[in-house]
């Protein structure tokens, strides 16, 4: 009798499994790349536009697992097409290039990279796979960004803060920082919902300092390394719709072929000629306004501790 019951239960379970729909819900691990015309793309069959690009800019929602997984998968595929690929990262600044180089050369370990390189708090969970892939394949990593302490002071005092920097400090930022009117500036200003206009101007100066510096770092590298290709990762605001970093790259070298990949949760999102990386949208950070304001005040308090010249 027990054998009969057990057999019946097994049959029932197998039957239920066979009739369950094969459709599964996407998770934060999942992604799908699409062309600007919304054609799906498999990474093992990349279009020539991506293979032949001088620069591929990948926007990200920071800490999004699916996007970070995509970045590593794409870098692996690009290596198959061009062994001279270099990885450019917003997450390391120019003044830490020597630290990054030491880690790639094996003269320091990961803990010293994280400490002396001012690695982001989510380095181990999100950026380690990229860096370790680059290291295993002897790829260059470009610490392309501007140092955050300097940029924060620009955000407080405006672009005139550049005049207070030492000659060495000045080399850590782009030689030319353009704060004039542009579609990128209009987008940035529209995204700011508080503060006086003059302070918002200073905050844009800080924002564009990042873009100009990352762009110059990439262009300089390509000028020194013929036939190289650069894959650059940064927050999506910096690169979407070809604004920000791409515009700064094209201003420095209009001949470069630059492709933008922007994460979206809806393929109908209007982002122009960008490639679309479909992923789940991050969870809502704050539901209650009092929680949002408390977080803002806490951030403002930490920034107030910064000492500028």
Digit-by-digit pLDDT tens for the chain (309 residues) are 444 333 443 343 333 343 344 568 899 999 999 999 999 999 999 999 999 999 999 999 999 999 999 999 999 999 998 989 999 999 999 999 999 999 999 999 999 999 999 999 999 999 999 999 999 999 999 999 999 999 999 999 999 999 999 999 999 999 999 999 999 999 999 988 666 888 999 999 999 999 999 999 999 999 999 999 999 999 999 999 999 999 999 999 999 999 999 999 999 999 999 999 999 999 988 888 778 766 655 655 555 566 898
**Distance from the Cα of residue 255 to its chain's centroid:** 23
- Are the CB atoms for 184 and 243 separated by under 8 Å? yes
DSSP, collapsed to helix, strand or coil, labels residue 300 as helix
Domain-embedded: residue 19: no
Domain that holds residue 53: 26-282+289-304
> What was the pLDDT predicted at 201?
94
Q: How far apart are CA 34 and CA 180, in angstroms?
A: 33
- What is the rounded end-to-end Cα distance, in angstroms, of the chain? 86
Residue 252 sits at the vertex; the CA angle it makes with 150 and 99, to the nearest 5 degrees, is: 45
**Backbone region of residue 260 per phi and psi (left: phi > 0; alpha: psi in -120 to 50; beta: other values):** beta
- Are the CB atoms for 240 and 67 separated by under 8 Å? no
How many Cβ atoms from other residues are within 10 Å of residue 296's Cβ?
A: 12
The residue among 230, 219, 212, 213 whose CA lies nearest residue 53 is: 230
- In the numeric block, the tokens 């905050």 are attached to 203
Domain-embedded: residue 2: no
Written as six digits, the tokens of 272 are 């122009």
Give me the numbers of helices (H) and strands (E) for the chain, helices first please. Answer: 13, 8
On whether the pTM is more than 0.85, the answer is: yes
> What was the pLDDT predicted at 3?
42
In degrees rounded to 5, what are phi and psi of residue 264?
-140, 155
Domain-embedded: residue 12: no
DSSP, collapsed to helix, strand or coil, labels residue 89 as strand
Written as six digits, the tokens of 5 are 């019951």
Domain-embedded: residue 79: yes
Domain-embedded: residue 252: yes
- The number of distinct structural domains making up the chain is 1
> What was the pLDDT predicted at 11?
40
The sign of the torsion formed by the CA atoms of 192, 195, 197, 200 equals: negative
DSSP, collapsed to helix, strand or coil, labels residue 304 as helix
Domain-embedded: residue 241: yes
Q: How far apart are CA 83 and CA 93, in angstroms?
A: 24
Tell me the helix, strand and coil percentages in the chain, rounded to 5.
55, 15, 35
Domain-embedded: residue 80: yes
Domain-embedded: residue 227: yes
Q: How far apart are CA 206 and CA 160, in angstroms?
A: 11
> What was the pLDDT predicted at 191?
87
In CATH, what number is assigned to the domain containing residue 258?
A: 3.40.50.11550
> What was the pLDDT predicted at 64?
97
DSSP, collapsed to helix, strand or coil, labels residue 259 as strand
**Measuring CA to CA, how many Å separate 152 from each of 94, 117, 122, 209?**
16, 18, 21, 10
DSSP, collapsed to helix, strand or coil, labels residue 56 as strand
> What was the pLDDT predicted at 307?
85
């Amino acid at each position: 009798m027990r054998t009969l019951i057990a057999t019946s239960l097994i049959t029932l379970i197998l039957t239920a499994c066979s009739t369950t729909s094969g459709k599964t819900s996407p998770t934060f691990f999942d992604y799908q790349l699409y062309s600007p015309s919304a054609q799906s793309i498999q990474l093992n069959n990349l279009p020539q536009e991506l293979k032949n690009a001088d620069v591929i800019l990948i926007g990200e929602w920071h800490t999004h697992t699916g996007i970070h997984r995509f970045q590593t998968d794409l870098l692996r595929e690009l290596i198959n097409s061009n062994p001279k690929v270099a990885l450019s990262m917003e997450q390391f600044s120019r003044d830490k290039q020597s630290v990054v180089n030491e880690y790639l050369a094996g003269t320091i370990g990961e803990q010293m990279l994280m400490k002396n390189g001012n690695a982001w708090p989510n380095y181990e969970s999100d950026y380690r796979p990229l860096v370790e892939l680059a290291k295993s394949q002897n790829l260059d990593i470009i610490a392309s960004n501007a140092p955050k302490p300097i940029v924060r002071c620009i955000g407080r005092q405006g672009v005139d803060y550049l005049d207070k920097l030492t000659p060495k400090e000045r080399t850590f930022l782009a030689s030319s920082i353009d704060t004039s009117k542009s579609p990128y500036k209009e987008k940035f200003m529209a995204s700011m919902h508080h503060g006086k206009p003059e302070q918002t101007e200073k905050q844009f100066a800080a924002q564009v300092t990042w873009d100009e510096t990352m762009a110059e770092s990439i262009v300089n590298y390509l000028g020194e390394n013929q036939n190289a290709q650069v894959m650059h990762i940064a927050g999506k605001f910096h690169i979407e719709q070809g604004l920000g970093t791409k515009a700064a790259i094209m201003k420095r070298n209009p001949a470069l072929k630059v492709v933008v990949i922007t994460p979206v949760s809806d393929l109908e999102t209007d982002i122009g000629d960008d490639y679309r990386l479909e992923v789940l949208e991050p969870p809502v950070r704050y539901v209650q306004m009092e929680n949002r304001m408390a977080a803002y005040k806490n951030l403002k308090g930490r920034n107030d501790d910064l000492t500028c010249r």
